[in-house]
Amino acid sequence: SIYRGQWEEENLKMSNYTTATEFLLMGFSDIRELQILYSFLLFLIYSAGLMGNLLIVIITTFDRRLHTPMYFFLRNLSMVDACYLSITAPQASVNSLVNNRIISVTGCAAQVFLVMFIAYVELTLLTVMARDRYVAICHPLHYPVIMSPRVCLQMTLTCLLTGLVYAAFHTGYTFRLSFCHSNVVHQFFCDIPSLLRISCSDTFSNNLSLIVSDLVVGAGCYAFITASYVRIFSTVLKFPVKEDQKKAFSTCIPHISVVSLFVISGIYVYAQPPSDSGSLKDIILSVFYTVIPPFMNPIIYSLRNKQIKGAIRILMTKTLSLRNKT
């Protein structure tokens, strides 16, 4: 029959395909000297970012003066940033050093899930932190009630649980596809847009869900953060002391800069048309939302903070005194 003939033709086409069992990641360069240089730079960025974030976690945990909502969220953000850096940077550094770009399908799926989960939690935590600063500056008398320890814990758990659902959906929806056009992922880590480009299945619904989620989550959180800081700025301008205004602006503007870099580069990479082939530009933009923000956040959010720097000095003094006694 006609239908049987069409079915056999489709089976013949599918039999000519070879489903990918592993993927090849794209490197930063094909020149060996540059590969070693990029590996060294990534290792330095990863080491510095990891130490900065872990230092903040240690200080905000053991210094009781920093047991406030603001530093509670900073501690959680630092833990998320340490994980975010650890998902992509170490593997990219090793791959560039040994010139090995192979990753298994299981490893690729795990990386996609972790990147989506941590990126979601990072963005929602930044949104919660903007809310915390807004309440602290614009409604200081109600701050202890609005941002109580219970509310802070509930917000954090909400970020984590919804992040698990978000990452699980996109990972499962991506890896139900067949990858038979090519096994070369045009990115230095496994990400969904690059995988959709090499799929031989219909990816329309995948691209649509990715764009919609980018607009709802990414643009929504960014709009909330921007609105919060606009209100903060309008309140700060009413401060009678110019020094207080300068201090608030010097803290808030770098926050917005890093959030803007994170959100805009992420939305651009995930929402661009699927027909566009991978390029060095996409790799550089991916660095802007996977490596730079978690590296910069300890500097901008905490290490410029007087209370954090004071706690670091106390910790160093105690450490040195213990060494002298021994």
Q: In this structure, is residue 36 part of a structural domain?
A: yes
In a domain, 106, yes or no: yes
pLDDT score, position 8: 38
What pLDDT does residue 279 have? 64
Residue 254 has pLDDT above 80, yes or no: no
Q: Please write the tens of the pLDDT for every residue from 85-109.
A: 999 999 999 988 888 889 999 999 9
Average pLDDT of the residues in 306-311: 78
CATH number at 175 reads 1.20.1070.10
Task: Report yes or no on 129 lying in a domain.
Answer: yes
- Residue 1 pLDDT: 43
Mean pLDDT across 289-317: 80
On average, the pLDDT of the chain sits at 84
Cα 71 from Cα 286, distance rounded (Å): 28
> Residue 157: which domain range?
21-273+284-314
Q: Is residue 146 part of a domain?
A: yes
Q: Compute the distance between CA of residue 47 and CA of residue 2 in angstroms, rounded to an integer.
A: 63
- Within a domain: 7: no
**Residue 75 predicted with pLDDT over 60:** yes
What percentage of the chain reaches a pLDDT higher than 70? 90
Amino acid identity of residue 91, one-letter, is: Q
Which one has a higher pLDDT value, 152 or 320? 152
Model confidence at 10: pLDDT above 50:
no
Q: Which two tokens stand for residue 130?
A: 């903007």
Give the count of domains, the chain.
Answer: 1
Secondary structure element (H or E) that encloses residue 125, with its range = helix 105-138
The answer to whether residue 135 sits within a structural domain is: yes
Contacts (Cβ under 8 Å, ≥6 apart) of 235: 137, 138
Closest CA to 289 of 107, 133, 89: 89
Asked if residue 12 is part of any domain, the answer here is: no
Query: Domain for residue 324, yes or no?
Result: no
Residues in the chain: 326
Q: Which residue has the higher pLDDT, 251 or 188?
A: 188
**Largest CA-CA distance found in the chain, in angstroms, rounded:** 91
